[in-house]
Structure 1
């Protein structure tokens, strides 16, 4: 091999390693993208409550007490923005008397700390404990997770007694999504927050609803279907034809009806 080709090969290798190192160093800025301002919840009956996590962080959460006989939705949003961006969806979900505990993750507006997989799982633990302390029985809790929040929701439902689980645009794992996006790099070696829902879903023993848009360009439809296939019965898969990422809002009447049916069991 000529010296010129050796130099070119060395340069390409150096650029590849530099790009891989930059990706590894900045990965959490891709996974977690907090933003926006802290605003009061514009939802009837909602109040802001403070949660204290096991490792000492303070979180804000939006709470709506359920009407008699109605379940409480324990809600985990996706990786971007904050709870305020979910106001319209959350308002629709609590229509009819459903309760709500919507958690603002650590490091997101209004909450202390820095986000990580382990941290978000502790945030979920704090929210679950608060729901129980406020008087909702475990079997009346419906855990709802969107996108990144699906990883938090699956982990919580795998560890604790709940009534049902609803996932919107879920993945098999965050590692699988990253591997698809950055397939030229061995991301498995450096991934800090893999969120392995595919390994956890077998421990979920309650009714499951998976909603996924067929045109999702962020977490492809096949990821949600694969996770659904791994899950235990009873389960329902609800494809939303032509919808992109986060499709729960397109099928709210059907989702509310499914929740009512799951709670009636």
Structure 2
């Protein structure tokens, strides 16, 4: 065999080996890539009760809860993957003064909680959070579910299992599988990805008012995902925020949009 051909085959073999090694690394490390739980914890905030609830697989999860005024719905807030439940308190600080209750839900493996995060596990965590509210006398119909970023996957699943008063998704994806495929077109992500969070498949069957919020400068999850979800629901309300990125949930404009949406629901309910 001529030397140039041998060199070419060697280069091709090396490239294939490197590619397979990268795929192996992605497969083995995907949980830490999808769920980068913060190592630096947000400082505790006042006004919230520290509560614990047990999941169906036996984990005791610590979270934060603040009861609302009588007659007001309670918000259950599922945060993004790089945050913790205290960030949910900050993201609802304009809603609490208006009388809404808030359960700042937490996940396994976050903020010192036991367990390792994964899709089925986070769904179990969400169900445990809703069950906790039930022990406080709060029915699903009196709950507004809010999900930010990867929390949108938990929020959509919970809304598909329960019948909440409303569903709010902030910077959501149509599906994690789709998003990762868009980011890594060179890899067979459909085969590699274990956690998928198929929001688009589930959202069509959810019978609850839907608010979608997204920033058009979001480089992590493009606003095309919220636009895709809106097209699946004729009754959805979509608000696009000019110049806002993936930190939209902590901007006053986002909270004001949620508040306006909830007040509209309150008025509609009082008129019936």
Q: Does 1:16 align with 2:19?
A: yes
TM-score, normalised on structure 1?
0.94
Q: Note the C-alpha offset of 1:37.
A: 5.3
Residue 164 of structure 2 corresponds to which residue in structure 1? 162
The answer to whether the Cα contact below 8 Å between 2:42 and 2:84 also exists between their aligned partners in 1 is: no
Structure 2 CA distance for aligned equivalents of residues 112 and 245 of structure 1 = 27
| Aligned counterpart, 1:32 | 35
Give me the whole-angstrom Cα distance separating, in 1, the residues matched to 2:223 and 2:140.
Answer: 30
RMSD: 1.6
Residues 96-105 or 132-141, more deviating: 132-141
SS at match of 2:197: coil
Is residue 52–residue 60 contact of structure 2 (8 Å, CA) maintained in 1? yes
Q: Where does residue 73 of structure 2 map in the other structure? A: 71
Pick the aligned partner of 1:183 from 169, 181, 185: 185
The SS at the match of 1:121 is helix
Could you tell me how far apart the structure 1 residues matched to 2:241 and 2:139 are?
32
- Does 62-71 or 131-140 show the bigger shift? 131-140
8 Å contact kept, 2:86–2:104: no
- Aligned pair partner of 2:91 in 89, 92, 100: 89
Out of 100, 109, 125, the position equivalent to 2:111 is 109
Of the structure 1 ranges 46-55 and 238-247, higher mean CA displacement relative to structure 2 is found in 238-247
Query: When the two structures are superposed, what TM-score results if normalisation uses the length of structure 2?
Result: 0.92
Cα distance in structure 1, aligned partners of 2:211 and 2:201: 18
Decide whether the 8 Å contact of 2:142 with 2:164 is kept in 1: yes
The structure-2 alpha-carbon separation of the partners of 1:118 and 1:223, relative to structure 1 and needing over 3 Å to count, comes to same
Deviations 1:37-62 (A, max 9, x none): 56774142x10110100001110111
1:236 partnered with 2:243: no
Task: Tell me, yes or no, if the aligned pair for 1:54 and 1:126 is still in contact at 8 Å.
Answer: yes
1:160 positional shift:
0.7
Note if contact 2:173-2:226 (Cα within 8 Å) is conserved in structure 1. yes
Query: Comparing 25-34 with 129-138, which one deviates more in the overlay?
Result: 129-138
Give how far 1:11 is off: 0.7
2:202 is aligned to 200
Q: Whole-Å Cα distance in 1 between the matches of residues 6 and 112 of structure 2?
A: 57
Q: Which has the larger radius of gyration?
A: 2
- TM-superposed CA distance for 1:86, in Å, is 3.8
Contact 2:214 2:226 in 1 (8 A): yes
Give yes or no for contact 1:168–1:246 (8 Å, CA) kept in 2: no
Q: CA deviation at 1:93?
A: 2.8
The answer to whether the Cα contact below 8 Å between 1:206 and 1:234 also exists between their aligned partners in 2 is no
Gaps of 5+ in 2: none
| Alpha-carbon distance between aligned partners in 2 of 1:57 and 1:84, rounded to the nearest angstrom | 20
CA distances 1:89-146 after superposition (whole Å, capped 9, x unpaired):
2322322110011111000113111100000000000001111120112221000000
Q: How many residues matched?
A: 263
Of residues 252, 261, 265 in structure 2, which corresponds to 1:262?
Answer: 265
Shift of the 243–38 alpha-carbon distance from structure 1 to 2, 3 Å rule, reads closer
